[in-house]
Amino acid sequence: MNYSIYSILAAWLVAILPHWYAISIANSKHKFDNTNPRHATQELEKRLTKEELETYKRAEAAQQNGFENLSFFACGVIAANYAKVPVGTINFLCFCYLISRAIYNVLYIKTTTLQYSYFRTITFLTGIIICFTLFIKAGNAINQ
């Protein structure tokens, strides 16, 4: 069974999860003001500890990065399906992408030292390489 199209929806969920986590941090002391969420950071600077605020910012950045990468992944999935890349290969790559993005989110949110930030970079690049692989396999399949 081909689960790859569903993986695009799953990737969207993986991308939004850090934002929901950030809202839980913002709500930990006072209710999050959803009327102007993009400017919430200014208000949060007044009521969160430095550590909480930095975690909030990293969670929001992880969410933004997830959505920035989502279209690249989705296009790769669609290209691979269009080119009739074997379903097992597409499913495997999609699963690996989702795992890499979930790990990336955790590392982005929890990493506070330069030394460990390189692990985050490795997981980011893993996801990008998976997207490239989807496109390369699609191109190879079309050209055969």
Query: Within a 13 Å sphere around the CA of 85, how many CA atoms are in the beta-carbon half?
Result: 23
Contact 90/134 with Cβ under 8 angstroms?
A: yes
| Residue 15 tokens, joined | 């991308």
Q: What is the pLDDT of residue 32?
A: 66
Domain ranges in the chain are 4-142
Task: Compute how many other C-beta atoms are within 10 angstroms of the C-beta atom of residue 93.
Answer: 23
Q: What is the pLDDT of residue 44?
A: 84
**Per-residue model confidence as pLDDT tens digits over 83-138:** 999 999 999 999 999 999 999 999 999 999 999 999 999 999 999 999 999 999 99
Query: Rounded to two decimals, what is the model's pTM?
Result: 0.92
- What CATH class has 4-142? mainly alpha
**Per-residue model confidence as pLDDT tens digits over 21-45:** 999 998 876 666 677 777 777 778 8
